[in-house]
């Protein structure tokens, strides 16, 4: 009963099979291979426009390289205070950018709004003394499993562009948000102003594969040099591309995300009515944040469930995080729900 | 009637004279000269212990070099959200440290407390995913002209050391705080846990002279290499040291600070009773922050007073900042107070 | 007939199989898994001592992270002017270290010697004005396919340590050098003074797997934080470790390297006697550098051989590089040798 | 008898006087003052075109900031292996640029040529694997006291621009070269292709004043932000500008340089005929490099002369460096020459 993270699971069988297929014959190295070209073509199809896509192996690399490309060393990046780039990347954006500043904003359900960004901006419009507004970065889905709607994103995109900034989306769980919102990839990105996307696959069934996607070729600038000197240009790149290729083929990515979201929904439906459980954060993607008694949480663990406390316990209560993967076995969920029911 | 900044004024006559005196004969360059040695000796006397002191030409350089020496590229520096290192140095600490993070904390009257630092800490105790707590940085006097008391500093020093961090003090206006608190330099620094001090002189009558002072030789580490490669090791260093030498001689620094503080007090005393004026921030050093009507502020400016608005105007009111220097002419103050009185 | 690079080939079947095996069940992420622990244990066995080993996905990452850990931002790294870190990593060492200097030395057959390092040193012993000697970095096997003998390495190790520097070995092709020299891994590394090794597997049959190996735990310092913030801590790390595990199991790495070296030797033996061919660089590992006429090279290409020119053509001659992999098919070699024979 | 460096001397009286004059009244800080504007205007006059000039306090800051502005983090800067940026700035260019590479070239008399740059270029034209050619940097006068002629510079400028690079001139001793060459400042800079100049004054009589001069406004880019975050935007900037203002007024800079050059010439004339002395490097500016016997050098020192050995002693001979300043007293020179004559 592992609900710790979508990282705890392995690789979707279709993606593993693709690695074997990619292993026939020789191929040009460093991304000059046919599979990498095919991924690029697939992404143009998926996003219904010419895009420039670059595979990398981690979400941190995708975010930090994307941000360093659009933000100068003396730039400011406006983002949520609980976002992955702030909390979980050991200052990778600062490192890759050469010292840029993450301006950390508050916001409900893991989201920032044009109002909070606008309120923060004047401090960064005072000439050479301060850092210069360069980018807004949002996480889709958010760290709290919620999803920005296209209209929420549009509002941020308009603000960003009006103020001379670029809009970055950390899409480590992009597929989960997409299937929740029932819109097209285009509608959720460039059509609402996203300039560059960290397109995640690892959490949704890949081994180690993400892509940085620029929706405007002009923004690519020196990305490829930055990737190389970050040690992120793999010699046998075709095996990263093979993962992305299989991920996109036959809508595997959407099926996987739908599966994980459904499991989360199923859990929320069963947990919600339990008297000891309070679900304050809407369950929109593949995670359930449940406010439970410390006793309840301990009981679940006694019975073999594994998960994180999201908050420090206080007044006998704690928020626990339950993450579902497309690879979470059906019976792990049903077993968990039985345990939860009897713990109530 | 210039109250814009203590930077608007020039150089104290004693310090200017010292430059001429330093200009006799040749001297070793790059800080190997006698004057630099004498400043070092004087600072040992002033602080009643062996210190390691290094002259630089700006407060930004002093702060950024001091912080980069005590904080690794993946470190976190806890500080007030309105501090100079956050707001006025264009990410110099991030640049010099190689990408460290400034953790911006709230706090009344420009001060942070052990409680707010402690509350922020747990987020940075999660292994390699987050930045690592490395330093607390406080500003003395604060950006709001208030002064941390020795016991307030001690509490932060204890927390810092208990948590394996160093305590840095940005003392761009150290002298002003010192004379206000009527304690010794030692009592206000290493005796309450300060590890490294940016000792400012420029705002208090020097031309361009600050010193980074380490109270523990072990903390100096690679400071000198960092200063050199930051372009901050002056070839004719003796002329920076000459300023500091004159600054410390005959307690000039204390006289100057006392003078500026007294002028501020004088202004506060006259302004306070005026009905349109509200002084919410205690006037402890050389600045007066006055909440006035927009009309009142406009009237002062019409009559020739020059100063900054500290806040955006709201509901017809604005907080203005009036900074006094040891070089502010007596009659500028009295003229301003007359104008203020008649504007009431 | 692909002799372009060992990167052009795919993954050894044993390593591909290991990925499938690693895909059973869930596992802790970010390297906390059992496979990663097993690789660590295996490497302790292989190197006959306690080592600290950290998997990464590229040789550039391994080198840059290793060097940044042992070299400060103002440090100097002495290395061969044709080494990979100089020529092929887009200044990754400078980036990861925060601006260190690669001191580029000349040397026959891709090797540097204590004499050339010693001659370069005095320039870096002039106080704060220059960068500070921090490391020597050697490539094993070299870019020219030659191998440093243990005694050559010992001499560099002694010099490094006498001068307060660390010795780094870029072992992208470590296995090839090892089997050529017929010594133990220990004899080729820490026993002759190597402090940290970039242990390559990718060029020798892995998909994307290298390990940074410290032979002294004290040198690890902040490596793990640097790896994380470089975006090189993979969430599903077990799949990188699985590659290394299979690579080390049953001496696969040695068999693979032996195979590639033998193919190279086979090619050299047949090419050498050809009148138009001159082999000036000893063929010690898995590459043949052959000085041939431009006509001869063109003829080989016409017949389907793919390889790089190592030098610019001059006076009708050019040095071509032929790289052999453990995965190079037997018949590609025999076909090439027939073509060569008939071209003569 | 101090011939150690032009840094050993103090400040020209005209420049010291200018500091006093600048100390009247208040002034806007951070370079918004009238004196800074006047320096800008004077430099436009001196260089006979619109220029963008920015005062800083050290040559290292001038060079590193100028280079970081024209060279990306993954860029290559072609320069002489003995240049100040290579040897004397503790990797400041690498630091400010975020990790760029100095490509160190050999060359007679401290000069590089289009031929050596061209020969080095192909290595940096291999796609993302290598650093990208970004700038050529030359020193005028060179570290060996020689001066590039306008035609030598033109040739480098043409190469730079043809190859998409910028041409930087480290003019720490620009005035000395200029008066030697008897051309105009324009002829020695932008007219022969120089894009940005580190215009030195400190070595020629200022206290601490250099200016970064861009001959094309488009190249200024983000220089001002880089200067600020480097801690090099002085609050009381007018006192740096006052030095430059006095330096340029009434051709003081040219008079000073002429004076120093004449003293050097005078020394060379007397030393040359001495049998024990060999002057291999043409004495073109304010330094004499004399190849003398170790005994001769020791004798000079016994008699009170102070100077550097430029080389390690070998075979009983050593090259000594004698630097002359505009402030070197006449009698120090004549006394030295007497001593030298009697030592012969």
Average pLDDT over residues A227-248: 98
Chain C CB within 8 Å of residue D104 CB:
yes
Q: Is B95 on the interface with A (CB under 8 A)?
A: yes
Contacts of residue D218, Cβ cutoff 8 Å, sequence gap at least 6: none
Query: What is the distance between the alpha carbons of residues B81 and C102, in angstroms, rounded to a whole number?
Result: 39
Q: Is B130 on the interface with A (CB under 8 A)?
A: yes
Answer yes or no: are the C-beta atoms of C232 and C30 closer than 8 Å: no
| ipTM surpasses cut 0.85 | yes
CB B307 within 8 A of CB B315: no
- Residue in chain D nearest A126 by alpha carbon: D225
Q: Rounded to whole angstroms, what are the CA distances from A160 to A139, A168, D11, D133?
A: 15, 10, 51, 33
Distance from CA of B170 to the nearest CA of D (A): 14
Residue C344 has pLDDT above 80, yes or no: no
Q: Are strands A308-309 and A317-323 parallel, antiparallel or unpaired?
A: antiparallel
**Cα(C12)–Cα(C24) distance, integer angstroms:** 20
3-state helix, strand, coil in chain A (%, to 5): 45, 15, 35
Tokens of A191: 């059509």
Q: In the prediction, which pLDDT does D130 show? A: 96
Crossing angle of helices C252-271 and C330-343, in 10° steps, is: 10
* Torsion sign (Cα): B40, B41, B47, B52: positive
The partner residues of C167 in beta bridges, in order of sequence, read C136
Q: What is the length of chain D?
A: 344
Which phi-psi region, left, alpha or beta, contains residue B101 (left: φ > 0; alpha: ψ -120 to 50)?
Answer: beta
Q: Mutation test of the interface with chain D: which of A54, A68, A73, A233, choosing the one with the most D Cβ atoms within 10 A?
A: A73
Cβ-defined contact of B231 to D61 (cutoff 8 Å): yes
Radius of gyration (Cα) for chain C, nearest Å?
Answer: 20
**Contact check, Cβ <8 Å, A101/B89:** no
Counting one residue from A and one from D, how many pairs have CB atoms under 8 Å apart? 38
| Whole-number pLDDT of residue B343 | 77
| Position A24 confidence tier, pLDDT thresholds 50, 70, 90 | confident
Q: Which of B88, B99, B122 sits opposite A91 (nearest CB)?
A: B99
Distance CA D256, CA D261 (A): 9
- The nearest alpha carbon in chain C to D73 belongs to C95
DSSP A296-326: HHHHHHHTT-B-EESS--BTTEEEEEEE--T
Of all residues in chain D, the one with the smallest CA distance to C97 is D99
CB atoms within 10 A of CB C330: 10
Using the Cβ of C310 and the Cβ atoms of chain D, whether some distance falls under 8 Å is answered with no
Measured between alpha carbons, how far is residue C15 from residues A30, A205, C47, C241 in Å?
20, 20, 21, 10
Per-residue pLDDT tens digits for A154-173: 999 999 999 999 999 999 99
Cross-strand bridge partners of residue B54:
B212
Q: What is the pLDDT of residues D37-56, one digit of tens each?
A: 999 999 999 999 999 999 99
pLDDT of residue A257: 98
- In the predicted structure, residue C289 carries a pLDDT above the cut 90: yes
DSSP A270: H
Instruction: Label residues C175-212 b or e (16+ Cβ within 10 Å = b).
Output: bbbbbbbebebbbbbbbbbbbbbbbbbbbbbbbbbbbb
Cα separation, B175 vs B285, in Å, equals: 9
Which of D99, D132, D224 is closest, CB to CB, to A128?
D224
Tell me the pLDDT tens digit for each residue of C261-285.
Answer: 999 999 999 999 999 999 999 999 9
User: What is the reported pLDDT for C343?
Assistant: 77
Interchain pair A72, D229: CB under 8 A: no
Question: Residue C143 in contact with residue C169, Cβ under 8 Å?
Answer: no
Record the tokens describing residue A128, joined without a space.
Answer: 């050479």
Q: Could you tell me the mean pLDDT of each successive run of 10 residues in chain B, 344 residues long? A: 94 98 94 97 98 98 98 98 97 98 97 98 94 98 98 98 98 98 98 98 98 96 98 98 98 98 96 95 97 95 95 95 96 94 80
Query: Could you tell me which residues are beta bridge partners of residue C95?
Result: none
User: What percent of chain C has pLDDT above 70?
Assistant: 100
Cβ–Cβ contact C212 with A under 8 A: no
Residue C342 pLDDT exceeds 90:
no
Contact: B60, D234; criterion CB under 8 Å: no
Chain B within 8 Å of A313 (Cβ-Cβ)?
no
Please work out, in degrees rounded to the nearest 5, the angle formed at the alpha carbon of residue B77 by the alpha carbons of B71 and B83.
125
The values of phi and psi at residue C174, to 5°, are: -60, -45
User: For C167, what's the count of Cα atoms within 13 Å in the CB-facing half-sphere?
Assistant: 28
Residue A196 bridge partners (DSSP): A168, A214
Q: Is the pLDDT of residue A344 over 80?
A: no
Tell me the C-alpha distance between C130 and C107, whole Å. 24
DSSP string, B76-141: EEEEETTSHHHHSSTTHHHHHHTS-EEEEE--GGG---HHHHHHHGGGG-SGGGS-EEEEEEEESS
Q: Judge contact between C114 and C141, C-beta under 8 A.
A: no
pLDDT at D37: 98
Whether the predicted pLDDT of A137 surpasses 80:
yes
How far apart (Å, rounded) are the C-alpha atoms in residues C314 and B288?
77
- Model confidence, pTM: 0.97
Q: Which residue has the tokens 């402690």?
A: B118
pLDDT of residue A343: 77
Task: Kindly report the average pLDDT of chain A as a whole number.
Answer: 97
What pLDDT shows up at residue B342? 86
Rounded to the nearest angstrom, the gap between the alpha carbon of residue B329 and the centroid of all alpha carbons in its chain is 22
- In the predicted model, what is the mean pLDDT of residues A314-321? 96
What's the confidence (pLDDT) of residue C134?
A: 98
3-state helix, strand, coil in chain B (%, to 5): 45, 15, 35
Per-residue pLDDT at D343 exceeds 80? no
The CA distance from B240 to B249, in Å, is 14
Q: How far apart are CA C183 and CA C46, in angstroms?
A: 12
Beta-carbon contacts of residue A194 (< 8 Å; ≥ 6 apart): A153, A157, A167, A168, A169, A188, A215
Q: With contact defined as beta carbons under 8 Å apart, do C100 and C135 qualify?
A: no
A105 forms beta bridges with: A80
Q: Which two tokens stand for residue D22?
A: 């600048």
User: Which class for D251: exposed (0-12), middle (13-18), buried (19 or more C-beta within 10 A)?
Assistant: middle
Structure tokens at D257: 């340089």
Show residues of chain A in contact with B91, CB under 8 Å.
73-74, 99-101, 131
Q: How many CA atoms are closer than 13 Å to the CA of C319, on its beta-carbon side?
A: 9
- Record: contact C231-A65, CB cut-off 8 A: yes
User: Using 50, 70 and 90 to split pLDDT, how confident is the model at A135?
Assistant: very high
Residue A224 forms contact with B (CB below 8 Å): no
Contact C324, C8 (CB under 8 A): no
Task: Assign residue A274 a region (left: φ > 0; alpha: ψ between -120 and 50; beta: otherwise).
Answer: beta
Q: What is the pLDDT of residues A72-100, one digit of tens each?
A: 999 999 999 999 999 999 999 999 999 99
Whether D95 contacts chain B with CB within 8 A: yes
CA gap C180, C141 in Å, rounded: 10
CB contact under 8 A, D228 and B95: no
Give me the residue label for tokens 């044993």. Answer: C14
C54-72 mean pLDDT: 98
DSSP B12-37: -HHHHHHHHHHTSS---STT-SHHHH
- CB–CB contact D99 C101 (8 Å): no
Within an 8 Å CB–CB cutoff, is residue A304 touching chain D? no
Helix B252-271 vs helix B174-181: angle between axes, to the nearest 10 degrees?
Answer: 70
User: Is B314 near chain A, with CB under 8 Å?
Assistant: no
Establish whether the linkage from the previous residue to A141 is cis, with ω within 30° of 0.
yes
Give tens-digit pLDDT for C82-134.
999 999 999 999 999 999 999 999 999 999 999 999 999 999 999 999 999 99
Q: Tell me the DSSP string of B138-206.
A: EESS-TTS----HHHHHHHHHHHHHTT-EEEEEETTHHHHHHHHT--TTTTTGGGT--EEEEE-GGGT-
Are C14 and C21 in contact, with CB atoms under 8 Å apart?
A: no
Peptide bond just before C110 cis, omega within 30 deg:
no
- Give the chain D residue nearest B57 (alpha carbons): D234
Structure tokens at B313: 């105007």
Distance, in angstroms, between D230 CA and closest chain A CA? Answer: 11
Convert the pLDDT of each residue in D51-98 to its tens digit.
999 999 999 999 999 999 999 999 999 999 999 999 999 999 999 999
């Amino acid at each position: 009963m592992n609900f710790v993270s979508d990282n705890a699971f392995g690789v979707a069988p279709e993606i593993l099979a693709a690695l074997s297929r990619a292993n026939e014959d020789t191929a040009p190295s460093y991304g000059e291979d046919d599979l990498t070209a095919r991924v690029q073509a697939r992404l143009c199809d998926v996003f219904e426009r010419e895009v420039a896509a670059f595979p990398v192996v981690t979400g941190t690399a995708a975010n930090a390289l994307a941000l360093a490309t659009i933000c100068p060393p003396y730039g400011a990046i406006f983002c949520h205070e609980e976002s992955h780039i702030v909390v979980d990347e050991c200052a990778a954006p600062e490192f890759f950018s050469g010292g840029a500043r993450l301006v950390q904003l508050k916001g409900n359900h893991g989201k920032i709004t044009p109002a909070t960004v606008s309120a923060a901006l004047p401090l960064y419009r005072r000439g050479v003394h301060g850092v210069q507004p360069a980018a807004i970065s949002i996480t889709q889905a958010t760290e709290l499993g919620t999803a920005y709607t296209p209209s929420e994103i549009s509002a941020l995109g308009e603000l960003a562009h009006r103020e001379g900034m670029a809009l970055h989306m950390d899409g480590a769980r992009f597929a989960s948000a997409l299937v929740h919102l029932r819109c097209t990839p285009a509608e959720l990105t460039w059509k609402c102003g996203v300039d560059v996307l960290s397109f995640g696959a690892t959490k949704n069934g890949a081994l180690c594969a993400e892509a940085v996607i620029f929706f405007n070729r002009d923004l690519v600038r020196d990305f490829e040099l930055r990737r190389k000197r970050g040690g992120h240009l793999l010699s046998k790149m075709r095996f990263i591309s093979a993962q992305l290729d299989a991920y996109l083929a036959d809508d595997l990515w959407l099926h996987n995300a739908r599966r994980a979201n459904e499991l989360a929904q199923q859990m929320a439906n069963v947990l919600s009515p339990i008297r000891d459980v309070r679900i304050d954060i809407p369950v929109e993607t593949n995670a359930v944040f449940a406010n439970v008694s410390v006793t309840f949480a301990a009981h679940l663990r006694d019975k073999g469930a594994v998960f994180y406390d999201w908050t420090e316990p206080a007044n006998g209560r704690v928020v626990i995080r339950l993450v579902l993967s497309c690879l979470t076995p059906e019976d792990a969920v049903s077993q968990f729900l039985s345990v939860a029911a009897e713990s109530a």
